Structure 1
Amino acid sequence: MKKLICIVFSSLLLAACSNENSHPETANEPKAKKITVQTKAHEYNYDVVTSATTTTFGTNPEPKWTPEQKEAKMFWSVQPPTGIIKGNYYKNERQFDGGNKGILELVTDDSGKLIQVEFNELASETYYESKYANASKRLSDYAFFQATNARTDDTLVTWVNGITFLEGQMLAENRLDGNFQTVKGSSTSARNGMMPLAAEMKDWVKKPFGFYYYGIAEPLGNGLTARLQVVTENGEIISAKYDEIFADQKVEITDSALQSLYRQSKYYSLDYETMTGDDFVAFADGLEKHILQSQDLLDIPKQDLASFRNYEKVATKLSAEIDGAGT
């Protein structure tokens, strides 16, 4: 009789069920379990393993799907958790695998429980596809680049699938070290980048380091989500990052000219940068510069821009949280 194993990722509203009968593997591959991960918006089907998988990089298989068929089969989400998150902040980063840069950020509550785990990776300066050199693999169109490659025809997963799956486990199990399941076909960054960084931080989160995180993400109703993340050190603002993330489905984006940018963010999208002349990056960097000078999310020059009005909405709410913490 088949045994059913269920794992509940309550923090991300995920439910994963796996079947112990594994799929046939090659002699060099670890055995994989087929799991289904359900979210509010989508159901994922993954083969997961508990060790590294053999890379298919350098191979050039014949495509099994048309681009339209493959787009319908693949799905990943870049949406941040909505609402306000605040807690003790930790960050660890380093280069791995030929110059790719991994960045792991953690937030814990006062009891030391993980409440946010987020890994980002910047491709190396010498990345073989020059468009993505130094680009965010999470919030640019890098995952689409992976999806168009025939090497993902069997796994139907991208970098984002592998990382968000691992983040969910760390949150649900409230641990940073030991072995984890990873998505077959998307395990390299998880195992070589994220897991070593997390293991180094397992003792860090046992006590506050003096850094505190205030974050807010709020849907704007037009296929965009505004996100503002602030970090303080002993009460002083040392980082203030604002971004707007496009919806996971292009039909949710009301501006048809921007629908091709779904599952990307304005700050990190290479194509949005080309379309707008890097205006949003300059806007967001300018916001941070003023905030660091004034130490106030709202004491900044007014701008007649939709993005500035979006920023003010979330900044007003987050500023109240920061002010309340200081009283």
Structure 2
Amino acid sequence: MKKYFTSFLMVLAFSLMLLLSACGTANDAQVEDTETDAVETEDNGADATSVATENANYEMTTLDWSAQPPTGLIKGDYYYTEERFRQGHLGTLEVVKNDDGIVYVEFNEMTRPNYYNRFFQDVPKRLSEYNFSMGEKKGAAWIQSVVLVESQMITEQRLTGEFDVVSGASNSIDQSMLPMAEVIEQQMTEASNQSYYGIAEDIGGGLTGFLQVVLDGDTITSVRYDELFADHPDDIEDPALKQYYRQSKYESVIYDEPSRIGFNVQMDALNEKVINTQDLLDLSELPAIDESGDYASSGFTIRNDAWDNYLMLAEKIQAELIKDGLR
């Protein structure tokens, strides 16, 4: 009996050792996962995963910035560069210069394709939910330093040197924007073959229409049309759209396009068509251009009224191109 009891105790002790070992392994794995997440979060010092708006509800951020482009017409020599920084984020910098000097600067950054949060993979930061997510988590939004530095560049008529930034939102400035500004400064020592025509106007309802056209010689190489929501929800008429304040239809990740074809997809199709036809005013065969459609067969339900806003601005750009001998 004593022999059996001793054997039982040995089996019991061995089982306890296995159990404790398994628990330790699970705890180690949990710690490792936590550390991995912490490393990823430190990727740019300002990544966040939650979004500030959901459905028709919205939270008013306490952070201050303006997402609006300069209104009116801007044209001049065009300079552009892009580069991937910091594990794959794609930075882009555009500068427009005319007889008055530097008249327009725009920096943007696309998150890396393998971004650790799928919601923000390959997302433009400037006019998307990214700023609210980062601001909620870090107390500063990516765009705050961006618009501050852009303003200084235009006011002080320089692209390089020291600039004031917003604390907590300077990594992209130091690691992406300013290195590219040095590249463009070098480009600007020679005349550019490219020209820029941009126009932004209030189109009603708390929206600003923004059309940008780039040419190489007399050949159109890029057409970008977007509609930006007002900086404050109170200035947006449609209650369902208030949640998109300081964002744009093209860059927002969660914006629902009523015509049932993504706004970004439609505007990408516009860009491709104009490059092929060299005609800013021909919308034939583009998505959601008819008054109505059968969703099952055509893929859209109603005409996208952005086309009318686009044509209004495109006609003004066309007139400038004709005046400048480019049409």
Q: TM-score, normalised by structure 1?
A: 0.74
Whether 2:224 is the aligned partner of 1:241: answer yes
Q: For 1:219, which of 194, 199, 202 is the aligned residue?
A: 202
Residue 103 in structure 1 maps to residue 92 in structure 2: yes
Residue 191 of structure 1 aligns to a residue whose secondary structure is helix
Establish whether residue 264 from structure 1 lines up as the match of residue 282 from structure 2.
Answer: no
Structure-2 separation of matches of 1:181 and 1:279: 37
Which of 254, 258, 264 is 2:237 aligned to?
254
Find the counterpart in structure 2 of residue 82 from structure 1.
71
- Give the alignment of 1:138-157 within 5 angstroms: 138-149=126-137, 151-152=138-139, 157=140
Following TM superposition, by how much is the alpha carbon of 1:125 offset from its aligned partner in structure 2, in angstroms?
Answer: 1.3
Partner of 1:318: 317
1:72 is displaced (CA, Å) by: 5.3
Q: How does 1:1-327 map to 2 (within 5 A)?
A: 71=60, 73-110=62-99, 113-149=101-137, 151-152=138-139, 157-273=140-256, 277-301=260-284, 303-304=290-291, 305=303, 306-326=305-325
Q: Secondary structure at the match of 2:113?
A: coil
Output the amino acid matched with 1:323: I
Larger radius of gyration: 2
- C-alpha displacement at 1:224, in angstroms? 0.8
Cα shift at 1:57: 5.5
Aligned equivalents of 1:253 and 1:124: distance in 2?
32
Amino acid at match of 2:145: G
Change beyond 3 A, Cα 1:170–1:294 = same
Aligned residue pair count: 259
Structure 1's 161 and 278: CA in aligned 2 closer, same or farther, altered over 3 A? farther
Equivalent position SS for 1:120: strand
Determine the C-alpha separation between the residues in 1 that align with 2:62 and 2:229. Answer: 20
Question: 1:56: Cα distance to partner?
Answer: 5.4
Letter in 2 for 1:217: A
Assess if the C-alpha contact under 8 Å between 1:86 and 1:214 holds in 2: yes
Letter of the 1:147 partner, please give it.
Answer: G
Residue 213 and residue 141 in structure 1: after superposition, are their counterparts in 2 closer, same or farther (change >3 A)? same
Q: What whole-Å deviation, never above 9, does each CA across 1:118-142 have from its counterpart, x for those lacking one?
A: 0000011122222111101111110
> Which of structure 1's runs of 4+ aligned residues deviate more than 4 A?
55-59, 273-278
Which segments of 5 or more consecutive residues in structure 2 lack a partner in the other structure?
A: 1-43, 49-58, 292-302
User: What amino acid does structure 1 have at the position aligned with 2:113?
Assistant: E
Q: State how far apart, in whole Å, the 2-side matches of 1:57 and 1:281 are.
A: 26
Percent identical: 38
C-alpha distance in structure 2 between counterparts of 1:308 and 1:73, whole Å? 34
Cα offset, 1:209, TM superposition: 2.0
Amino acid across the alignment from 2:81: N
Q: Residue type matched to 1:104 in 2?
A: L
Q: Distance in 2 between matches of 1:110 and 1:207?
A: 14
- Choose between structure 1 and 2: higher helix proportion: 2
Instruction: Give yes or no for contact 1:213–1:229 (8 Å, CA) kept in 2.
Output: yes
Amino acid at match of 2:122: N
Contact 2:46-2:168 within 8 A present in 1 as well: no
Q: 1:198 to 1:58 in 2, by over 3 A?
A: closer
Indicate if the aligned counterparts of 2:46 and 2:169 stay in contact, CA closer than 8 A: no
Residues 173-226 of structure 1: CA distance to partner in whole angstroms, max 9, x if unpaired? Answer: 111122222221111001111000001211212332200000011111211111
| Paired residues of 2:67 and 2:231 also in contact (CA < 8 A) | yes
Higher strand share: 1
TM-score in terms of structure 2 length? 0.74
Distance in 2 of aligned mates of 1:211 and 1:199: 19
